[in-house]
Structure 1
Amino acid sequence: MNTPPTATTPTDAAGRPVRLGLRENWAQFTLLVIVNVCVGGLVGLERTTVPLIGSRTFHLTSDLAVFSFIIAFGFTKAVTNLAAGALTARFHRKQILVAGWLIGIPVPFALAWAPSWGWIVAANVLLGLNQGLTWSMTVNMKIDLVGPSRRGLATGLNEAAGYTAVGVTALLTGYLAAAYGLRPLPELIGVVFVGAGLALALAVRDTAAHVALELAQHSKPLPSDENTGLKSTFARTSWLNRSLRGASQAGLVNNLNDGLTWGVFPLLFTDHGLGLAAVGLIKGLYPVLWGLGQVATGHLSDRIGRKPLIVYGMLVQAGGFVLALVLLERPLLAGIVSAVLLGLGTAMVYPALIASVSDHAHPAWRANALGTYRFWRDIGYAAGALVAGVLADALGLNATVIAAAVLTAASGLLAARWITEHRSDAR
């Protein structure tokens, strides 16, 4: 329920009235959406070109070596997600958001002019730190602003902004690489994202007062014996709570898919004769559909529940992997069909998972719960790249895609078994 203005409406540190709701906070919410466009754009720099930089520019012969940049990115981002939740107990969300952008400043320059592959891997450590801090804070701050009744829509809009930017940037870098080479021009558009993201982050207002207001209004008081610390919340979110456990494993497998396709698809489709522009189209289409679709699916999850979108979304993704191989004799068609199904399936899953975690977490430990969920989800990047590298070196790229389909379908079935709906009075 949104907060109506009254004579006793609380105020923030600057004396402005604080109310919960999307309409009441549309200006700040919109600003955070634009910030997340910059967040997604920065990571989108790598989707098309970096695997090919590894194989063509630095002449790496092992698929596992090529995918090492994704492992570095995924592991660092996962750990940073976890730390970001804990950091909210000591620092304001805005401070963490600005710090993330400062850390990201060297990334586009390193990608553009790295003299060795080790520099690319190091740049991805910085990128993981940047993404873990900035993306975590944009989603937390949006959830803070809108309150419980619009969590699905808020997360859908946040992820839509970020992943649409990932896709558009991947598409743009593919065309720039085809016209001007793999480096440095495609990577230098990241300078725009870093500069704009930092400037906008400095303009954002913190949401601490909104969190305090939601805590005061929460219908279920925090049990006196419930520990809100990171250690207890990590255990609760990872395995003790069935629904949170189900969401965490689904998030991990979802991003395992993304990490796998990030490394495998450029190599798979170039091996079957596609050029950089076509690969850029495939790599861009997947996150664009993933991004744009979340506006509708996030809102839909507020109406019909989280579980149906999570379960069926994972199964749609599994079908995308299967069709990528079935249609591979026509590689452009295979790439487009798989990108469409992977994008739509992920759009169904992504905001519903974040909203489900928020539903099952008390506001007092929600930031840590989201940090834990995002830890497991983004470990999937590293796991996907590691699995892809080992399987591709041992059995080939096709076997890697088959393994992804099996894992994704199994994850959907686990989600169906473990996740329950949590319908608050606001929904």
Structure 2
Amino acid sequence: MAINAKIDLARPDQRGLAVGIDEAFGYTGVAVGAWITGVIAGQTNLRPEPFYFLGAVVLLAFLISVFLIKETVQLAQLEGDDDHHDANLPFVDVLKRATYGDRTLFAAAQAGHVENFVDTLFWIAVPLYLTSQGLAIELVGVVVGVHSAMYFLQIGTGGLADRIGRRPPVVAGMFLAGAGVLGMVLVDGYLPWAVLAAVSGLGMALLYPNLMTVPSDAAHPTWRSAGMGVYRMWRDSGYGVGAILIGVTMQFASPEAAFYLTAGLMFLSGAVVVVWMEETHPEFGTHEPPAPAPADD
């Protein structure tokens, strides 16, 4: 909902920047929160002290949302034409449209699903692989942290898509992230691993906010939030599916095989984006929503 509110507040040609800001600060919050709770746990205990801090953060966020954040749905209502044939779709139709009824939205949904395999790989397989190669635990943390730190660049990559379109950063990001993952099992040494983790993170920073901007561009304002919700469902379910596939691959093949699998799926998913995703930028996009079904006589 925070992203939907920012999109409501932003101009159509600022949606990439709006999403980039939200995602960049969200991931920065995850990193800062992990560091603070780690410090608290190191100086006290694993529980309950870190949970006191988390409870205070949740309470503060709740109070801010109640007393400082204003409703933005009226801005979305003013933005759209309720008489347009694409307006006010029932949720079932939104689900169909955002899943398979629109090739551009399908391309975005499948790419969002697959790209989360990269995050899952860095959480599960990368630490195990690097420690098995003899890298010290503290340096493993640096390599994984370098990947995550690149996500702050989403502010810039989201703004970039407002100028050049959504499609180029998404395509570049899919192949760049896949190449970074693949390269990590083809090199050896702390510095090469850190560089390739940064390459993969840069690819994710290019694609992550701009994939989310695609459904916000393509959806009519009357069902934009629902369309974004469907996209997020398919995207975030990639964490679970990715964890299962990567875990099974590591168990029955090898950690290296998990890297090859993830990279291969990123390249395949990127190819789907190249073939099916149309440009959705509000000023120079080529995407048109599917024509309404003919009415029964």
Q: Which of residues 19, 26, 33 in structure 2 aligns to 1:155? A: 19
1:173–1:225: structure 2 CA closer, same or farther, 3 Å change rule? closer
How far apart are residue 168 of structure 1 and its match? Answer: 4.6
Q: Which of residues 204, 220, 226 in structure 2 aligns to 1:362? A: 220
Kept in 2, the 8 Å contact 1:325–1:398? The answer is yes
| 1:341 and 2:199 matched | yes
Q: Which of residues 244, 259, 263 in structure 2 aligns to 1:386? A: 244
The secondary structure found in structure 2 opposite 1:336 is helix
Kept in 1, the 8 Å contact 2:82–2:222? The answer is no
Equivalent residue, structure 1, for 2:165: 305
How far apart are residue 394 of structure 1 and its match? Answer: 0.7
AA partner of residue 157 (structure 1): I
AA partner of residue 314 (structure 1): M
Equivalent residue, structure 1, for 2:62: 201
Kept in 2, the 8 Å contact 1:325–1:334? The answer is no
Counterpart CA distance in 2 for 1:162 and 1:149 is 22
The secondary structure found in structure 1 opposite 2:222 is coil
1:341–1:357: structure 2 CA closer, same or farther, 3 Å change rule? same
Counterpart CA distance in 2 for 1:151 and 1:426 is 14
Kept in 2, the 8 Å contact 1:321–1:404? The answer is yes
Kept in 1, the 8 Å contact 2:147–2:197? The answer is yes
Kept in 2, the 8 Å contact 1:260–1:381? The answer is no
How far apart are residue 378 of structure 1 and its match? Answer: 0.7
Percent identity (aligned): 35
Kept in 2, the 8 Å contact 1:172–1:280? The answer is no
How far apart are residue 202 of structure 1 and its match? Answer: 2.0
1:426–1:326: structure 2 CA closer, same or farther, 3 Å change rule? closer
| 1:217 and 2:79 matched | yes
1:190–1:415: structure 2 CA closer, same or farther, 3 Å change rule? farther
Instruction: Tell me the TM-score normalised to structure 1 length.
Output: 0.61
The secondary structure found in structure 2 opposite 1:364 is helix
The secondary structure found in structure 2 opposite 1:294 is helix
Equivalent residue, structure 1, for 2:117: 256
Counterpart CA distance in 2 for 1:196 and 1:272 is 38
1:403–1:156: structure 2 CA closer, same or farther, 3 Å change rule? same
How far apart are residue 296 of structure 1 and its match? Answer: 0.5
Q: Residues 4-403 of structure 1: matches in 2 within 5 Å?
A: 137-169=1-33, 184=46, 189=50, 191-204=52-65, 205-208=68-71, 210-218=72-80, 220-223=81-84, 228-290=89-151, 292-327=152-187, 329-330=188-189, 332-403=190-261
Equivalent residue, structure 1, for 2:291: none
The secondary structure found in structure 2 opposite 1:421 is coil
Instruction: Tell me the TM-score normalised to structure 2 length.
Output: 0.86
How far apart are residue 214 of structure 1 and its match? Answer: 3.1
Counterpart CA distance in 2 for 1:337 and 1:286 is 9
The secondary structure found in structure 1 opposite 2:182 is helix
Equivalent residue, structure 2, for 1:105: none
CA RMSD of aligned residues (A): 2.6
Counterpart CA distance in 1 for 2:254 and 2:179 is 20
Counterpart CA distance in 2 for 1:352 and 1:225 is 23
Counterpart CA distance in 2 for 1:346 and 1:225 is 32
Kept in 1, the 8 Å contact 2:177–2:200? The answer is yes
1:226–1:362: structure 2 CA closer, same or farther, 3 Å change rule? closer
Gap regions ≥5 residues in structure 1 = 1-136
Kept in 2, the 8 Å contact 1:150–1:302? The answer is yes
The secondary structure found in structure 1 opposite 2:160 is helix
AA partner of residue 275 (structure 1): A
- Greater length-normalized contact order (CA 8 Å, ≥ 6 residues apart): 2
The secondary structure found in structure 2 opposite 1:365 is helix
Deviates more, 1:196-205 or 1:297-306: 196-205
Counterpart CA distance in 1 for 2:137 and 2:43 is 11
Kept in 2, the 8 Å contact 1:174–1:280? The answer is no
Kept in 1, the 8 Å contact 2:8–2:75? The answer is no
1:149–1:221: structure 2 CA closer, same or farther, 3 Å change rule? farther
1:191–1:419: structure 2 CA closer, same or farther, 3 Å change rule? farther
AA partner of residue 342 (structure 1): S
Counterpart CA distance in 2 for 1:294 and 1:155 is 8
The C-alpha deviation readout for 1:104-153, integer Å capped at 9, x for no partner, is xxxxxxxxxxxxxxxxxxxxxxxxxxxxxxxxx22122112224231110
The secondary structure found in structure 2 opposite 1:326 is coil
Kept in 1, the 8 Å contact 2:175–2:203? The answer is yes
The secondary structure found in structure 1 opposite 2:185 is helix
